[in-house]
Structure 1
Amino acid sequence: MSWSTREVADLAGTTVNAVRHYHQIGLLEQPDRLSNGYKKYQVRHLIRILQIRRLRELGVPLDQIEEVGVGGDPSVEALQIIEADLGTTIERLERARAEIRSILQGSASTDLPAGFENIGDRLTTGERSLMLIYSQLYDDQAMADLRDMVAAEVDDASVAFDALTPDADESTRQQLAEDYAVPLARDLAKYSWLTAPGAHQPKGPRVTRETLVESVAALFNPAQLDVLGRASLLAMERLATDRAAAAHTDHNDGEEPA
């Protein structure tokens, strides 16, 4: 008894293309052929395909099937690694399912990274896009800190920034920069990594810097970019002043009375 490629695929509950792929990657030996050139699949081929399918159902990638072992005693170490990977995948899918439920209930959005669902209304259109980009450039701890920063921002300043037109006048720009500088200086003082973020940039400082420069330039108009630049300078000046004052106070506190 022998089967054609289509027949053995049907018996195994798979497709002709899958069987051919197993041949191509070396998981399934080539069968003998009839005089007309058609393949003759035997019981051993059917069993092999079923074993492969069984491991695929368990989540074993095709390129790891040989390592796990088909039939007999499987590799315990290889299965442990795959089990751990499946656990990670399950956790990711559970988080995704919870986020989708939140989106369906109207309490989350698809244009924000995980964890920002409840504060999306505090972000401008450009900031929402920027947070998605941040999520690819910064680690989980940095993103958690950024979420806390957004939650503490002043809504009025964000609204005014989002509405800022490219031809905004000098006084409007300066006032908005001063409004932004206050919380920015606070964040710089509270989250020291902001001034030296390298440890929180898994893709490296160069890629992160170049990506952010391009992204910010694309997402904000010239007036907004001007405000961001001014706010950053004002915040750094404020931070330096506060640190100098704190150092002076500590020095005086350490002096012995005359």
Structure 2
Amino acid sequence: MRDDPDERELTVEDENSDALTELRYQELEPLEFATNRGCQLLDEITLHILELRLALLVVTDDVSLRLDDFYPRLAALEVLADQAVGAARLLLLNADLDEAWGSLPSRPQAVYARHKAAVTRGSPNVFPEPSSLRRFNSAIRTIGSQATGPDWRARPQCPAMIRDGSRQCSNGVLYLGDNAFASGCFSHATEAERTRHRQHQDGRHEANVEASHIAHSALIGLGRIIAEGWLRRRHEPGSLFHLINQPDGPFRLEDMEDGGKAAPAD
């Protein structure tokens, strides 16, 4: 029985229309996905940003300009691109996500936050494969860690008592290198231990300088390889420079259509 006697009784057409509206609403809901091709393209974007950073290291060999304003902006782009690769791979792996915050596609940071929220609720934690950019940065940091060795910040507590004898000294003992520690902190160690500690610190500083030099030399070498590759391909058919500067005008449709017929991604 109807609550309102003046309400029109629903017909079959009305019910079908409501069902169609509901179906269309479901179709408009954002479909979250990622393809392997999309993940590869985003990873290539991280590599191209990295190429920009490396090429800037060597372009000053040919141009007397101060270009350091590029670096903080490129660093911000690297963070965004790395996050995009990780978020896309989370989607590719069908990682559980918390409810979307709107009808538009989520930003990479939001995908991470939604996955973290889902994990908090009991979903399995998914760890996407790191981007090529992140692998590169990790490799460069490894050069420094191999040269300097462990830092040994977690040191045993000094066993000596403070001057008034009321409690134990709260400082850590000195690290002497080669997995050895002094008998006390700087104040309570022997003079020989303090000298050995200073020698270790001096050696560590020299190792840091050497590690920075090795890493910088590696970056410069890669920058020169990238720069030479850019210039070599600059005038080749199909390069962006060639498409823009061809004699009969930039961006001929038939050239772009032919160039777009790329092989499918692995």
Establish whether TM, by shorter chain, passes 0.5: no
More helix by share: 1
Shorter-chain TM-score bucket reads: under 0.3
Alignment TM-score, normalising by the size of structure 2: 0.18
Q: Which has the higher contact order (CA 8 A, sep 6+)?
A: 2
Alignment TM-score, normalising by the size of structure 1: 0.18
